[in-house]
């Protein structure tokens, strides 16, 4: 969401720093528009995103859990505040230009804490969720999704499935090779079909 300049540079810049929640509101608005236009129904949409897109997935799950039939978060950047506070991680200083520097700015600290998925898990019902991680991932360390899943399991009030699949040989972009990528895609598709209660033979 807002990764380009489809509505101009100003629109793109308005989703950085304190404007970051605009990306989450955009995703919710897009889902609601699909419902309003009769393309689907509330609770019949599976949201998917990876890396920073996984942050979006985690945020909209916290904000509007009942809007989604399920969620797929691939190597999700969900422990945002802890990661951005750790300047020993190689990618963290470069990210301050997008998110703000919570080490030096109290305002940036509060802004990031306000939407960080890990820090905002609530005692509420969440839809079925599939989470992936890569043990060799230098961008989103594997313990980020693991921490998030652990907090969700300890806090959420539903019995819906919550799966964490950690690949022990891959990094940020998943396993290499065409067939491995197809297997990962098929797994996500199967999860989405199951979450929506869709018969794969008629989908």
Catalytic sites, residue numbers:
51, 137, 172
Yes or no: say if 160 and 126 are a contact pair by the CB < 8 Å rule: yes
CA distance 183 to 175: 10
Angle, CA of 143, 144 and 146, to the nearest 5°? 60
Q: What ranges in 37-140 are assigned the alpha helix state H?
A: 52-63, 80-84, 92-99, 106-115
* Spatial CA neighbour of 102 closest among 18, 37, 181: 18
**How far apart, in whole angstroms, are the C-alpha atoms of residue 48 and residue 15?**
19
In whole angstroms, what is the distance from residue 140 CA to residue 115 CA? 17
């Amino acid at each position: 969401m807002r990764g380009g300049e489809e509505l101009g540079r100003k629109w793109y810049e308005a989703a950085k720093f304190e404007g970051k929640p605009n990306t989450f509101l955009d995703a919710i608005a897009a889902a609601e528009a699909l419902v309003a236009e009769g393309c689907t129904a509330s609770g019949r949409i599976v949201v998917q995103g990876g890396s920073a897109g996984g942050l979006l997935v985690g945020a909209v799950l916290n904000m509007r859990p009942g809007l989604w039939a399920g969620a797929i978060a691939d190597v999700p950047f969900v422990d945002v505040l802890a990661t951005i506070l750790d300047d020993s991680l190689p990618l963290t200083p470069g990210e301050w230009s997008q998110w703000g520097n919570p080490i030096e700015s109290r305002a940036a600290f509060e802004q990031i804490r306000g939407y960080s998925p890990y820090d905002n898990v609530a005692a509420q019902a969440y839809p079925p969720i599939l989470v992936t991680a890569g043990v060799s991932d230098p961008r989103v360390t594997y313990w980020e999704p693991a921490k998030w899943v652990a907090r969700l399991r300890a806090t959420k009030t539903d019995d819906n499935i919550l799966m964490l699949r950690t690949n022990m040989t891959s990094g940020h972009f998943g396993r290499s090779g065409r067939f491995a990528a197809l297997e990962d895609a098929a797994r996500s598709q199967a999860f989405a079909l199951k979450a929506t209660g869709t018969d794969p033979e008629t989908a």
